[in-house]
Amino acid sequence: MGRRKVEIKRIENKSSRQVTFCKRRNGLMEKARQLSILCESSVALIIISATGRLYSFSSGDSMAKILSRYELEQADDLKTLDLEEKTLNYLSHKELLETIQCKIEEAKSDNVSIDCLKSLEEQLKTALSVTRARKVYMLLLRYSVT
Amino acid sequence: MGRRKVEIKRIENKSSRQVTFCKRRNGLMEKARQLSILCESSVALIIISATGRLYSFSSGDSMAKILSRYELEQADDLKTLDLEEKTLNYLSHKELLETIQCKIEEAKSDNVSIDCLKSLEEQLKTALSVTRARKVYMLLLRYSVT
DNA sequence: CTAGCTATATATAACAA
DNA sequence: TTTGTTATATATAGCTA
């Protein structure tokens, strides 16, 4: 789509990589907008440049709503895949919530470390049961990663 | 880019809207992939069709990592915008966590309703202080919405 | 970096299967 | 729904300012 055909691999020249990033990023967002309007759909697009700058676009529904929907789907997939699901009962749900509560308690004194949250992740893996608990779990996982 | 120029507005014919959705969706994902590779960037793309079907694509970093980054940025923006931020102190942080803890307690007996979480949102709005607390807040908000 | 300017490479609208 | 063909509309690579 230009004077010359380009191979899809990292553009070596820093300057032209930057220019291409800017142009294609705008093109991608415009395409996303068009798809959303033409076909009554919702589109969320997040782009992070090599230097860490963030660009986002959403159309149709709000970004938050689209991301929620995505996460809900992921949570459901997880539920479907978990073979131990059926063997877990309300007690493990309760245990999960108690573990979270405990963690909140620690957060109050501001002593939460990444390692601490990682170990929580391990505990939660075995404590998961109902979908609601799974959601809390996923959210806390994300919290610990950022 | 076809036999005829099309206006960017909802395609009325259901059948051609569907065909266009399929083709442009694939095109958008391919463009996202190319941008990511050509310019060393990370791209997350989530598309929800009019019938509610979800399609997603990510490249560079994982979807989870990209979404985390996005949310972190939003949380920071929120912090920057909040004029009352500077007047809030550690106590409000603690209050926030206690409110969350209380909510978790309720969740244990499985009596959480949307209304209940909505009122929590209101309480949290005034209790927010540090970034960490903000993150928990945003996550709980999302939890209540889905 | 950011903004045009073409010449070309691509995407895709309409149609068919 | 998805796939393939072909004529056109667009996007954009390489330059320039």
Q: How confident is the model at residue A146 (pLDDT cuts 50, 70, 90)?
A: very low
pLDDT of residue B106: 54
Structure tokens at B5: 């120029």
Q: How confident is the model at residue A75 (pLDDT cuts 50, 70, 90)?
A: low
User: Which residues in B lie closer than 8 A to residue A66 (C-beta atoms)?
Assistant: 46, 48
Residue B68 distance to chain A (closest CA, Å):
6
Mean pLDDT of B127-136: 40
Q: Are residues B128 and B81 in the same domain?
A: yes
Query: What is the end-to-end Cα distance of chain A in Å, rounded?
Result: 38
Q: Which of B41, B66, B67 to mutate to test the interface with A (most CBs of A within 10 A)?
A: B41
Q: Are residues A38 and A76 in the same domain?
A: no
A45 within domain boundaries:
yes
Q: Are residues A49 and A76 in the same domain?
A: no
Would strands B54-59 and B42-48 be described as parallel, antiparallel, or unpaired?
Answer: antiparallel
pLDDT of residue A99: 52
pLDDT of residue A89: 30
Mean pLDDT of A44-71: 88
Q: Are residues B35 and B79 in the same domain?
A: no
Q: Are residues B43 and B70 in the same domain?
A: no
What is the average pLDDT value for chain A, to the nearest integer?
67
Determine the structural domain holding residue B134 and report its residue range. Answer: 66-145
Residue A31 beta carbon within 7 A of nucleic strand D: yes
Q: How confident is the model at residue A102 (pLDDT cuts 50, 70, 90)?
A: low
Q: What CATH number does the domain containing B31 carry?
A: 3.40.1810.10
Q: Are residues B85 and B53 in the same domain?
A: no
Q: At how many degrees (to 10) do helices B63-81 and B131-145 cross?
A: 120
| Record: contact B35-A42, CB cut-off 8 A | no
Higher pLDDT, A25 or A126: A25
What is the average pLDDT value for chain B, to the nearest integer?
67
| Record: contact B10-A40, CB cut-off 8 A | yes
| Record: contact A48-B42, CB cut-off 8 A | yes
Q: Torsion angle, CA of A54/A58/A64/A67, rounded to 10 degrees? A: -80
Is A138 a residue whose pLDDT tops 70? no
Q: Are residues B86 and B110 in the same domain?
A: yes
Range with the poorest average pLDDT among A48-52, A73-77, B50-54, B111-115: B111-115
Q: Of all residues in chain A, what percent carry a pLDDT higher than 90?
A: 37
SS3 B54: strand
Q: How confident is the model at residue A64 (pLDDT cuts 50, 70, 90)?
A: confident
Q: Are residues B55 and B80 in the same domain?
A: no
Q: Are residues A70 and A140 in the same domain?
A: yes
| Record: contact A31-B27, CB cut-off 8 A | yes
pLDDT of residue B100: 54
Q: Give the count of domains, chain B.
A: 2
B9 within domain boundaries:
no
Contacts across the A-B interface (CB distance below 8 Å): 200
**Which pTM does this prediction carry?**
0.64
Higher pLDDT, A41 or B129: A41
Q: Distance, angstroms, CA B19 to C1' C17?
A: 15
Mean pLDDT of B25-47: 95
A3 within domain boundaries:
no
Mean pLDDT of A13-33: 94
Q: Which of A25, A60, A95 is the last residue of a domain?
A: A60
pLDDT of residue A68: 74
A4 within domain boundaries:
no
Structure tokens at A144: 């610990």
HEC secondary structure over chain A: CCCCCCCCCCCCCHHHHHHHHHHHHHHHHHHHHHHHHHCCCEEEEEEECCCCCEEEEEECCCHHHHHHHHHHHHHHHHHHHCCCHHHCCHHHHHHHHHHHHHHHHHHHCCCCCHHHHHHHHHHHHHHCCCHHHHHHHHHHHHHHHC
Q: How confident is the model at residue B90 (pLDDT cuts 50, 70, 90)?
A: very low
- Closest residue in chain B to residue A11, using alpha carbons only: B38
